[in-house]
Amino acid sequence: MKFFVDTAETSEIRELNDMGMLDGVTTNPSLIAKSGRNILEVTKEICDIVEGPVSAEVTATDFDGMMREAAILSKIADNICIKVPLTPDGLKACRMLTEDGRQVNVTLCFSANQALLAAKAGATFISPFIGRLDDTGLEGMELISEIRTIYDNYGFETQILAASIRTVNHVKQAAMIGSDVATVPPAILKALFKHPLTDKGLEAFLADWAKTGQKIV
């Protein structure tokens, strides 16, 4: 499973990229606002850090507006992936952009039927929002499973990009179901490293090593 990080904070992106953990980055208007920076400036910096896809989202809600904004965002870098909402105009824009050779991430997916439409529109990625479904009392992971089944049934090449991930268990479950990508907040991605037995074991190894008085030189 590929790991994308869901942030517009370039310092966090650099740190995770240096670890060799990142396959891409996702941003959205809320994350750009949180960064406090100009969208074109910060997105260009992110594209320079990572080699994989960087999702940059349009803010227009009509087809013509989406296409105008997509044209501007596409010029930022070759690894830009245009992010559009799962609406009729968004799917129309998706079709036009993919036919033009652009990568497209269709976002705000909350049903398997929506994911089916996005795949038929040629989306590169579909972003089902796990955590937000969980918030309503539904099972977000069930949606990932449904989409996986549908895409496998018909050989769709659209990649499932599990989004709105809130916990390390979300990551594990998405991987077990077969999500192609998980886009994860920096804190959750770093938490994947952690286990108390790892810390305890390392502490014991170092204590035993210290007793030998040796150094590896």
Per-residue pLDDT of the chain (217 residues; tens, 9 = 90+): 999 999 999 999 999 999 998 999 999 999 999 999 999 999 999 999 999 999 999 999 999 999 999 999 999 999 999 999 999 999 999 999 999 999 999 999 999 999 999 999 999 999 999 999 999 999 999 999 999 999 999 999 999 999 999 999 999 999 999 999 999 999 999 999 999 999 999 999 999 999 999 999 9
Say if 217 falls within a structural domain: no
For β-strands 159-162 and 2-6, DSSP reports them as unpaired
Residue 149: the pLDDT is: 98
CA distances from 169 to 131, 172, 176 (A): 11, 5, 10
CATH number for the domain spanning 200: value is 3.20.20.70
Is residue 215 part of the annotated active site? The answer reads no
Q: How many domains does the chain have?
A: 1
Residue 86: the pLDDT is: 98
Residue 143: the pLDDT is: 98
Say if 171 falls within a structural domain: yes
Q: CB under 8 Å to 187, separation ≥6 — which residues?
A: none
Residue 23: the pLDDT is: 98
Say if 88 falls within a structural domain: yes
Say if 14 falls within a structural domain: yes
Give the number of other Cβ atoms within 10 Å of residue 2's Cβ. 15
- Predicted TM-score (pTM) of this structure: 0.94
Of 44, 75, 83, 172, the active-site residue reads 83
- Nearest Cα residue to 130 out of 168, 163, 89: 163
Long-range contacts of 96-105 (CB under 8 A, 24+ apart): 96/67, 97/67, 97/70, 98/122, 98/123, 98/124, 102/70, 102/74, 103/53, 105/26, 105/53, 105/55, 105/81, 105/161
Residue 141: the pLDDT is: 97
> Could you tell me the two tokens for 102?
């652009």
Q: Which domain holds residue 63?
A: 2-212
